[in-house]
Chain A
Amino acid sequence: MLIPHPLLGPRDAQEFVCLGDARLIERPDPAAADAEAAFCDYVFLRDNPAGVHRELWFHEHGDRSWLVVTRDTVTHAVLGAELARDVALARVGRAP
């Protein structure tokens, strides 16, 4: 399996560690009234789709970037990869 690293080009997936669903970027607000319920969803529940899945991969044996990889869980085709930091910054309204 090859991961198209946005900075380094195609890299063997063996260089990476997969964490799982990219929604783990979206950590809930700990101060919210329903924080415990929101964290339970965040920590434990997954869409787990058969098809397109956005997921987090860490380039552990590489440049130590966290990537958001879009991959099909049925065919394993990789549809794209971006720096997780950019995704996370966009979420808080900042430019990368």
Chain B
Amino acid sequence: MRFSGFRIVAEALKGHTGWRPLWRDPEPQPAYDYVIVGGGGHGLATAYYLASRFGAARIAVLEKGWLGSGNVARNTTIIRSNYLLAGNEPFYEFSMKLWEGLEQDLNFNAMVSQRGIINLFHTDAQRDAFRRRGNAMMLAGAGARLLDADEVRRMAPFLNHDNARFPIRGGLMQPRAGTARHDGVAWGYARAAARLGVDLIQNCEVTGFRIDNGRLRGVETTRGSIAAGTVGVAVAGSSSRVMAQAGLRLPIESHVLQAFVTEGLKPTIPGVITFGAGHFYISQSDKGGLVFGGDIDGYNSYAQRGGLPVVEDVAEGGMALMPVIGRARLLRMWGGVVDMSMDGSPIIDRTPVDGLYLNGGWCYGGFKATPASGYAFAHLLATGEPHETARAYRLDRFARGYVIDERGAGAQPNLH
């Protein structure tokens, strides 16, 4: 079934009796060519690109809960390609280009909205660092603008421009950045993958890997054994837990990252804004809620809930940056478990176990990477070679000294 405005009109006229499931709920088969562990955004995108771009068949996605229940279900929906380092920027720009054609590709409106992002700066040193980053973006074709304080004031008059503790001196803007409806992204990929014959298997938790002499043979699950020659794990947040079943230790810690949404409001802010002097970033959803977040709580956690101090810290940052939101009310807060890697950058690579591949370490930036991550992982699974934009995301980069450390924070995950 193809989605379109005409289809809605036609269905409305016949009482909405013709809608069909967005995907099937198949029983797991005994064997597949490819098994993707994790039915979050990255896993679903991987399956879709494997089937649509690499001609792969006999693909299953195993999800321990419900489709899209990974961090694609709880994030602040920001998409952007405004990175500094050569190991990162081309990858995220590749992702941005995939976002730009995503809805037509998937025939599903994921509400990709390029309303722009402004990263504010507050010192000359920050400006120079942003100029270096903006130039990297320009050189990679991502586009960027350096705004002075007056331009920021014109574009975002609701910020505190007049009595701030850390005055706004300008911003780095990426006009093509924006937001996407996070659940819609997962559903769009799931539906498109299912239409290409991918088996999406919910409530199916992987409990072990079958490995013979260093060669992967399949996975054990709560719904039985499944044989597969190629298994890709995309379970960010739980990467260490799952990969430990294959005897691997990772350069990753699991941390809780909280995010927040207010009650629905009439249009308040146009794009995405990040504070350069506190941990705070904000956008407004199409439904009207202000969606915002801040720093991670800073300790290892799998609890999917955070503490009150970070809530207060984020609110303080928000009130300092834009005091006009004071009488908006926080409606809901949630905590997601994120893979914090040792250099703040992800891993898309083979593992020492032949046939077992890892996609993880996304820190708190995995959502925007969803399309490119899926594409690059599919490329790796199908060809055995890293995608050209993901060559730096190797597991051995830590041992060899080729870290991709955007913040220069070193091997301390809670500083990235």
Question: Closest approach, in angstroms, between the C-beta of A44 and any C-beta of chain B?
Answer: 4
A40 with B309, Cβ < 8 A, contacts A17-B298, A50-B302, A75-B303 known: no
- Asked whether A50 lies within 8 Å of B414 as measured between CB atoms, the reply is no
Task: Specify which chain B residues have a CB less than 8 angstroms from the CB of A73 in the assembled complex.
Answer: 254, 300-303
Residue-wise, chain B 388-416 has the 8 Å CB interface mask toward A (1 for contact) of 00000000001100000000000111100
Task: Specify which chain A residues have a CB less than 8 angstroms from the CB of B300 in the assembled complex.
Answer: 18, 20-21, 48, 53, 55, 73
- Asked whether A76 lies within 8 Å of B303 as measured between CB atoms, the reply is yes
Question: Closest approach, in angstroms, between the C-beta of A81 and any C-beta of chain B?
Answer: 13
Within 8 A of A (CB), among B218-248: 238, 240-241, 244
Is B167 close to A, CB under 8 A?
A: no
Task: Specify which chain B residues have a CB less than 8 angstroms from the CB of A45 in the assembled complex.
Answer: 249-251
- Asked whether B240 lies within 8 Å of A74 as measured between CB atoms, the reply is no
Within 8 A of B (CB), among A11-42: 13-14, 17-21, 37, 40-41
Residue-wise, chain A 39-79 has the 8 Å CB interface mask toward B (1 for contact) of 01101111111100101000000000000000101111000
Is A92 close to B, CB under 8 A?
A: no
Query: Chain B at the A interface: mostly helix, strand, loop or mixed?
Result: mixed
Is A1 close to B, CB under 8 A?
A: yes
Task: Specify which chain B residues have a CB less than 8 angstroms from the CB of A17 in the assembled complex.
Answer: 298
- Asked whether A46 lies within 8 Å of B302 as measured between CB atoms, the reply is no
Within 8 A of A (CB), among B133-186: none
- Asked whether A48 lies within 8 Å of B253 as measured between CB atoms, the reply is yes
- Asked whether B249 lies within 8 Å of A14 as measured between CB atoms, the reply is no
Task: Specify which chain B residues have a CB less than 8 angstroms from the CB of A75 in the assembled complex.
Answer: 303
Task: Specify which chain A residues have a CB less than 8 angstroms from the CB of B249 in the assembled complex.
Answer: 41, 45-47
Task: Specify which chain A residues have a CB less than 8 angstroms from the CB of B244 in the assembled complex.
Answer: 47
- Asked whether B411 lies within 8 Å of A43 as measured between CB atoms, the reply is yes
Number of interface residues of A (CB under 8 A): 26
- Asked whether B251 lies within 8 Å of A44 as measured between CB atoms, the reply is yes
Q: CA A71 – CA B302 in complex, angstroms?
A: 12
- Asked whether A37 lies within 8 Å of B399 as measured between CB atoms, the reply is yes
Is B252 close to A, CB under 8 A?
A: yes
Q: CA A52 – CA B303 in complex, angstroms?
A: 13
* Among candidates B241, B252, B309, residue contacting A50 with C-beta atoms closer than 8 Å: B241
- Asked whether A76 lies within 8 Å of B301 as measured between CB atoms, the reply is yes
A13 with B414, Cβ < 8 A, contacts A47-B240, A48-B252, A48-B254 known: no
Within 8 A of A (CB), among B249-299: 249-254, 298-299
* Among candidates B251, B301, B342, B412, residue contacting A19 with C-beta atoms closer than 8 Å: B412
- Asked whether A44 lies within 8 Å of B253 as measured between CB atoms, the reply is no
Question: Closest approach, in angstroms, between the C-beta of B335 and any C-beta of chain A?
Answer: 11
Q: CA A75 – CA B253 in complex, angstroms?
A: 16
Q: CA A40 – CA B244 in complex, angstroms?
A: 18
Question: Closest approach, in angstroms, between the C-beta of B389 and any C-beta of chain A?
Answer: 24
Question: Closest approach, in angstroms, between the C-beta of B252 and any C-beta of chain A?
Answer: 6
Task: Specify which chain A residues have a CB less than 8 angstroms from the CB of B240 in the assembled complex.
Answer: 46-49
Q: CA A53 – CA B399 in complex, angstroms?
A: 24
- Asked whether A40 lies within 8 Å of B399 as measured between CB atoms, the reply is yes
Task: Specify which chain B residues have a CB less than 8 angstroms from the CB of A21 in the assembled complex.
Answer: 253, 300
A44 with B413, Cβ < 8 A, contacts A74-B303, A76-B301 known: no
Q: CA A40 – CA B343 in complex, angstroms?
A: 13
- The chain B residues found within 8 Å of chain A, CB to CB, are 238, 240-241, 244, 249-254, 298-303, 307, 309, 342, 398-399, 411-414
Ranked nearest first, the 3 interchain pairs of A and B with the lowest CB-CB distance are A48-B240, A44-B251, A18-B299
Task: Given contact pairs A18-B414, A48-B250, enumerate 19 new A-B contacts (beta carbons under 8 Å).
Answer: A14-B309, A18-B298, A20-B300, A20-B412, A21-B253, A40-B398, A40-B399, A44-B342, A44-B399, A46-B240, A46-B253, A47-B240, A47-B244, A48-B254, A55-B300, A71-B299, A73-B301, A73-B303, A75-B303
Identify 14 residue pairs between A and B in the complex whose beta-carbon atoms are under 8 Å apart, listed by A's number: A13-B309, A18-B299, A19-B412, A41-B249, A43-B411, A45-B249, A46-B250, A46-B252, A46-B253, A48-B254, A49-B240, A50-B238, A55-B299, A73-B300
- The chain A residues found within 8 Å of chain B, CB to CB, are 1, 13-14, 17-21, 37, 40-41, 43-50, 53, 55, 71, 73-76
